[in-house]
Structure 1
Amino acid sequence: MADYMILGLVKKRAELAGDIELTHARLRELVNQLEHIDGTLRIVAPDMELEAIRPKAFRPPDDWARRGQMSRLVLSILRTSKEPLTTREIAAQMLLERAMDAEDQRMLRIMTKRVGVALRDQRDKGRAASVPGPGQFQLWAIAR
């Protein structure tokens, strides 16, 4: 087999194993926080059944993106920018324009992923271009 294939698979496996470790660490942190909150609730409201509290699932707002809206907003932000931007900067700007909390790290992560997908799609269509930025970040601009 080709060495480059083996190296690629080894690299991908290491990346996935690292993601799993991070996910486990985050899960431990969340369980720890939940136990602290449960302990506090047992002190201040001993009669409350904690198991009766249903988990609240995250659901993006209905008006987040209609067909093509994400791409239009991303391209609009790039057009008005004087310099290339990172995906995270574009996502933060988008949250601000939508009057959403740009300080909410969870929301910013989700929006950053969605913006990244839109940017890659626009790069494939020749409308946006990426250049290496600081560290491992890419900077995005309108393709010229």
Structure 2
Amino acid sequence: MVTGLVKRRAAVAGEMKAAQALLASLAKDLETLDAAIKLVAPDLDIPAIAPKMVRPPDDWSRRGEMSRVVLSIMRVANKPLTSREIAAQMIVQRGLASTPKLLNLMSRRIAGCLRDKRDKGLVRNVETRGGQYLEWEIAR
């Protein structure tokens, strides 16, 4: 147990050191931008410029998460699915508010993911039942 705690402490300390280096770099960049602004607009009140908070939307996926969820949905399906059907299941799994805009957005993201997986030989298109969407299944 002690070995695991020591390893975790070392990892956290390393992350803190990297974060401090990033913070120092950002502070230097901010000073450079402030100096450039003073050259161009010396009367501008720089401290009055509010920082912009950047937060990814709730429907955003972390690296690899989209692929894992899409493939897991396809594995348990008993029939080929369209990207729209997969998107609908993903929205329910994530507990997001289902709107037509979100469904269309997720369908496009999933279609891109599926095309990438098709190029790698993991999934394939099957003959469609009719309609405008391709149907997908796990390649066997």
**Shared topology, TM-score over 0.5?**
yes
In 2, Cα distance between equivalents of 1:60 and 1:85:
28
Does 1:132 pair with 2:127? Answer: yes
Question: What residue in structure 1 maps to residue 49 of structure 2?
Answer: none
- Which one has a bigger Cα radius of gyration? 2
In 2, Cα distance between equivalents of 1:72 and 1:141:
14
The one-letter code sitting in structure 2 at the alignment partner of 1:92 is A
The one-character-per-residue Cα deviations of 1:97-140 (angstroms, maximum 9, x if unpaired) are 000122x0000000000000000000111111111311332111
2:71 pairs, out of 59, 71, 75, with 75
RMSD: 1.6
Matches within 5 A, 1:79-90: 79-90=75-86
1:115 pairs, out of 90, 107, 110, with 110
Question: What residue in structure 1 maps to residue 13 of structure 2?
Answer: none
In 1, Cα distance between equivalents of 2:138 and 2:91:
20
Normalised to the residue count of structure 2, the TM-score between the two structures is: 0.57
Count of aligned positions: 85
Normalised to the residue count of structure 1, the TM-score between the two structures is: 0.55
Matches within 5 A, 1:38-77: 61=57, 64-77=60-73
Q: Is the 8 A contact 2:59 2:96 kept in 1?
A: no
Structure 2 residue runs without a partner (length 5+): 1-54
**% same residue:** 53
